[in-house]
Amino acid sequence: MTNEALQHEIHPEDLTLYALGALGEAERARIQKHVESCGSCRLELQTLNADMGVLAMASAPESAPPARVKDRLMTEIAHETREPRRKAWNWSWAFRFTVAAILVAAVFFEWRDTRSLRSQTEALKRQLEHERADSAQARAIADLMKDPGAMRLTLVSTNSRPQPMAHVICSSDKGRVLLIAQNLAPLGPGKMYELWLLPMSGKPVPAGMFNADAKWTAAMYHAGLPEYVEAKGFAITIEPAEGSAAPTTSPVLMGTSG
Amino acid sequence: MRKWRARGRVLGAFGAGNLASHPIPDNERTSNGGRRESSANSSMGQREDDSVLVMRTRRGEREAFALLYDRYSRLVYSVALRVVRNPSTAEDILHDVFLQLWQSPERFDSSRGNLPAWMAVITRNRAIDRIRQQRGSVDPEEVVLYSSCDLGSEVERTTVIERIRELLRTMPEPQCRAVEMAFFEGKTHAEIASEMKEPLGTVKTRIRSALIAIRKVLQP
């Protein structure tokens, strides 16, 4: 990561100070701009945040907060609906009249909007039916793929190298993943394959780096996945050897669960 | 604030005396101060995972939120107090951090980081902004954290913290002081260099190498 940062003309020391918020305004703005477009520096920043978190945890002398803070907090959220709170109304006749006028207008607009909403609802229904059909087809495909009695053949061109292929076995509750790949071209210096866990929601999570050997095969075991993150699939991209915080190239291989 | 800049107190802050008293989450503390497995964490008598509690908090379950508070309020308060040196302000920060967690639990992405470390950094950043009076820093809420170490596990967290403390105990005093000033006092590298009468490059290197040393402890 250090070399990567240097390549980007961002000194790792400056990135550290940026994470700490210990830079002057001009330098902070310069590095912020760079970090927004540099995956490896973003990953380094995220790692620095973890370093800082541990430093804070290890360095803060033990202090118990007063119980009143929890009481206050729990009382506050007990009345909170996660929506802006309503202020107490200070009713006056003029105010009531204004509110009544607004309500009349609201009823009119509501009637008008209802018609629009009906047509939108119909469109959504049609979209839902379409997606249901897609979903049924996806399930049928998945059933076929899982069918132990189905014949499995891989057809390849007779005059070219077989297609790259990778098998991934992942345990989400233990945060472990095993990858075995074949027909994968070895990458030159400075480049590595990076496996990405595609969570059910959110951005891809780095799931380990590897390279293929001279026989165009690869195997990797990675135990550093966040636990209990349900994967909808995996993808492999080519990244700088230091790794990236987010994919920077299109996947060379990708697979999602049925 | 000034008395904390004195050498003796700084070493004390990083040294064995204070570090040995790391916060033990409230719900894991027995009446005599020891640790115990919480039976209040779930109806099954098992410690619910942080990410599960965050997910339940997202659904608006106050019980899950209360469990998170019991688990990490001591940590948040301790970090805040370490920075602001004022119990009342630290209480406000504790309140704000947890209120933020309640109102926007999605800000913590459980797939990318550990909750205690994330909360510690959020708290530290908020506290620094208080003492700087919003001088401008990294957005205290926009913290994304990546670690190969699982700090959500009490056992792993305790082990890592002990190793970090040992590292800090043996760290050269000028390096310790530079980290103290940047991390807990919110000073810029220029201010640190000026106060320590050291070249800027030296200060930068000291701080960087301290964090890298911490990272090595985190790596499996």
- The ipTM estimated for the assembled molecules is 0.75
What are the DSSP E strand ranges found in A92-144? Answer: none
Interface A–B counts its CB contacts (< 8 A) at: 236
Q: Which residue has the higher pLDDT, B153 or A204?
A: A204
Q: Which residue has the higher pLDDT, B160 or B95?
A: B95
What CATH class has B25-152? mainly alpha
Phi–psi pair at A108, nearest 5 degrees: -65, -50
- Closest residue in B to A31 (Cα) is B138
The CA R_g of chain B, rounded to the nearest whole Å, is: 18
Q: Residue B87: which pLDDT band, with cuts at 50, 70 and 90?
A: very high
Question: Is it the case that residue A156 has pLDDT exceeding 70?
Answer: no
Phi–psi pair at A255, nearest 5 degrees: -150, 140
Chain B hits for A202, Cβ within 8 Å: 109, 111-112
For residues B207 and B204, give the distance between their C-alpha atoms in angstroms, rounded to a whole number: 5
Q: Residue B33: which pLDDT band, with cuts at 50, 70 and 90?
A: very low
- Give which of A2, A17, A20, A47 to mutate to test B binding, by max B Cβ within 10 Å: A20
Computed over every residue of chain B, the mean pLDDT equals: 75
Bridge partners, A234 (sequence order): A197, A255
Answer whether B69 sits within 8 Å of A70, measured CB to CB: yes
How far does the CA of residue A154 sit from the closest CA of chain B (Å)?
35
Question: Is it the case that residue B11 has pLDDT exceeding 60?
Answer: no
The partner residue sitting opposite A49, judged by closest CB among B62, B143, B212, is B143
**How is residue B45 annotated by DSSP?**
S
Q: What is the pLDDT of residue B97?
A: 92
Average pLDDT for residues A98-121, to the nearest whole number?
76
For residues B72 and B66, give the distance between their C-alpha atoms in angstroms, rounded to a whole number: 10
For residues A108 and A97, give the distance between their C-alpha atoms in angstroms, rounded to a whole number: 17
The partner residue sitting opposite A63, judged by closest CB among B60, B77, B110, is B77
Q: What is the pLDDT of residue A2?
A: 44
- Give which of A43, A63, A70, A79 to mutate to test B binding, by max B Cβ within 10 Å: A63
Q: What is the pLDDT of residue B43?
A: 41
- The conformational region for residue A167 under phi > 0 = left, psi -120 to 50 = alpha, else beta, is beta
Q: Residue A95: which pLDDT band, with cuts at 50, 70 and 90?
A: low
pLDDT tens, position by position, B203-220: 999 999 998 888 888 776
Question: Is it the case that residue A38 has pLDDT exceeding 70?
Answer: yes
A134-153 burial, b for 16+ CB within 10 Å, e for fewer? eeeeeeeeeeeeeeeeeeee
Question: Is it the case that residue B95 has pLDDT exceeding 90?
Answer: yes
Q: What is the pLDDT of residue A178?
A: 87
**1.20.1630, 3.40.50, 1.10.3470, 2.60.40: CATH of A165-256:** 2.60.40
Query: Hey, how many other C-beta atoms are within 10 angstroms of the C-beta on B143?
Result: 24
For residues A5 and A24, give the distance between their C-alpha atoms in angstroms, rounded to a whole number: 19
Q: Is A35 on the interface with B (CB under 8 A)?
A: no
Q: Residue B73: which pLDDT band, with cuts at 50, 70 and 90?
A: very high
Question: Is it the case that residue B44 has pLDDT exceeding 60?
Answer: no
- Sign, CA dihedral A210-A214-A218-A223, equals negative
Domain spans of chain B? 25-152
Q: What is the pLDDT of residue A87?
A: 42
Q: Which of the residue ranges A29-38, A79-88, A104-113, A144-153 has the most confident prediction, judged by mean pLDDT?
A: A29-38
Q: Residue A207: which pLDDT band, with cuts at 50, 70 and 90?
A: very high
Question: Is it the case that residue A193 has pLDDT exceeding 80?
Answer: yes
Using alpha carbons, list the distances in angstroms from residue B155 to A139, A161, A251, B162.
Answer: 42, 49, 37, 11
Bridge partners, A195 (sequence order): A236
Q: What is the pLDDT of residue A258?
A: 55
Answer whether A51 sits within 8 Å of B82, measured CB to CB: no
Query: Hey, how many other C-beta atoms are within 10 angstroms of the C-beta on A202?
Result: 13
pLDDT tens, position by position, A46-67: 888 888 888 988 887 788 999 9
Residue B125 is which amino acid? N
Residue intervals of chain A classified under CATH 2.60.40 are 165-256
Average pLDDT for residues B167-189, to the nearest whole number?
90
What angle in degrees, to the nearest 10, is found between the helix axes of B200-218 and A39-59?
Answer: 80
Average pLDDT for residues B35-39, to the nearest whole number?
37
Query: Hey, how many other C-beta atoms are within 10 angstroms of the C-beta on B130?
Result: 20
Average pLDDT for residues A86-95, to the nearest whole number?
52
